[in-house]
């Protein structure tokens, strides 16, 4: 009886609160949400830990990997004419694509070395041995496009909004990779833009009682494009290693009937795994 009386007392208290502030509906909804999000968080946490464990296993079992890496002798280089502005970029004037590809290959090999992958140039790509620790990596196509991109800059004050358009030099590099570790992976794609450096600010002119808009543009030079090849080569190396690691993790998760996978990135310098951000890696092209 005592237990029943206590329950009835709680019910009367909840009813009284419900009459004043709607306690019961709020209480029930909040409780169900807490349970739902709690379960969701627990599932995600379990999944994350499983993926990290599998990734660590991958790293431990593959301390030494050899990769036959082929880059093309030529890239598709073009300069696009901006009909609205009536001009085109001059950044790629005198551009040496052989130098660009050589710099990018060397940076790629160095980057892969940081992951414990030994890179060599294959004499015959049709005779390269492939398995889980012997890869064939081919940069099958690279497009380098020079263009002028119209950048719109928005600035806000306490009372007004300002919009200014600026033509910026842009070099777009798009790359298609093919990888074989015993099985051909889908074609892997990524593209990145190198643009003029841009900065702006507003200042209030007390003497003229108006807001002044100031900006600076750090114009691209040809040497910046070659330096960009170093950045891309190391980035492609990281993308390649992370893709192969995540592919292994994905196959193991399928065996465990996992329906969801969180992608990981590996930092070879800090020896740490972290979660990959969106669009931070290769995109599969299923042809």
pLDDT at 279: 86
Q: Which residues are paired to 272 by β-bridges?
A: 267
Distance (Å, rounded) from C-alpha 7 to C-alpha 190?
A: 62
Q: Check which CATH number belongs to the domain holding 241 and give it.
A: 3.30.160.150
Q: Is residue 159 part of a domain?
A: yes
Asked whether residue 151 is domain-assigned, the answer is yes
What is the four-CA torsion angle of 14, 20, 21, 22, rounded to 10 degrees?
A: 60
Beta carbons within 8 Å of 232's beta carbon, 6+ residues apart:
104, 107, 173, 175, 192
Instruction: Give pLDDT, residue 47.
Output: 53
5 within some domain: no
Calpha distance 283→278 (Å, rounded): 11
Distance (Å, whole) CA 177 – CA 185: 9
Is residue 9, in this structure, part of any structural domain at all? Answer: no
Residue pLDDT, tens place only, 232-259: 999 999 999 999 999 999 999 999 988 8
At 29 the pLDDT is: 41
- The domain in which residue 138 lies consists of 45-285
Token pair of 243 as six digits:
């893709």
In a domain, 223, yes or no: yes
Positions in the chain whose pLDDT score sits under 70: 1-48, 157-158, 287
Identify the residue whose tokens are 């890179």. Answer: 119
Residue 247 lies in a domain: yes
* pLDDT at residue 212 in the model: 75
pTM summary value: 0.80
Domain assignment of residue 99, yes or no: yes
In this structure, the chain runs to a length of 287
DSSP state of 83: T
Q: Please, which residues bridge with residue 87 across strands?
A: 82
Task: Tell me how far CA of residue 277 lies from CA of 168, 178, 262, in angstroms.
Answer: 27, 23, 10
CA 171, CA 92: separation in Å to the nearest integer? 8
Tell which residue, 181, 103, 169, has the closest CA to residue 142: 103
Q: Shortest CA distance to 225 belongs to which of 144, 153, 126, 279? A: 144
Q: Within a domain: residue 167?
A: yes
Query: How many structural domains compose the chain?
Result: 1
């Amino acid at each position: 009886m005592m237990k029943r009386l206590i329950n009835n007392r709680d019910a009367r208290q909840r009813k009284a609160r419900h009459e004043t502030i709607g306690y019961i509906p709020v209480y029930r909804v909040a409780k169900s949400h807490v349970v739902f999000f709690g379960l969701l968080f627990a599932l995600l946490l379990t999944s994350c830990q499983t993926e990290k464990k599998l990734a660590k296993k991958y790293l431990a079992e593959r301390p030494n990997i050899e990769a036959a890496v082929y880059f093309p002798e030529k890239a598709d280089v073009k300069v696009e004419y901006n009909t609205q502005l009536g001009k085109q970029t001059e950044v790629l004037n005198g551009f040496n694509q052989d130098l660009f590809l050589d710099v990018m290959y060397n940076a790629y090999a160095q980057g892969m070395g940081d992951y414990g992958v030994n890179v060599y140039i294959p004499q015959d790509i049709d005779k390269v041995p492939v398995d889980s620790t012997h890869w064939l990596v081919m940069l099958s196509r690279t497009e380098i496009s020079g263009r002028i991109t119209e950048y719109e800059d928005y600035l806000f004050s306490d009372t007004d909004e300002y919009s200014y358009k600026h033509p910026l030099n842009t070099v777009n590099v798009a790359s298609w990779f093919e990888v074989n570790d015993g099985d051909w992976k889908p074609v892997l794609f990524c593209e990145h833009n190198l643009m003029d450096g841009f900065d702006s600010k507003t200042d209030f002119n007390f003497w003229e009682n108006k807001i002044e808009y100031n900006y600076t543009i750090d114009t691209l030079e040809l040497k910046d494009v070659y330096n960009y090849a170093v950045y891309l080569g190391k980035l492609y190396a990281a993308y390649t290693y992370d893709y192969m690691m995540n592919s292994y993790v994905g196959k193991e998760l399928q065996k465990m009937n996992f329906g969801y996978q969180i992608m990981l990135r590996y930092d070879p310098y800090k020896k740490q795994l972290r979660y990959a951000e969106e669009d931070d890696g290769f995109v599969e092209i299923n042809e």
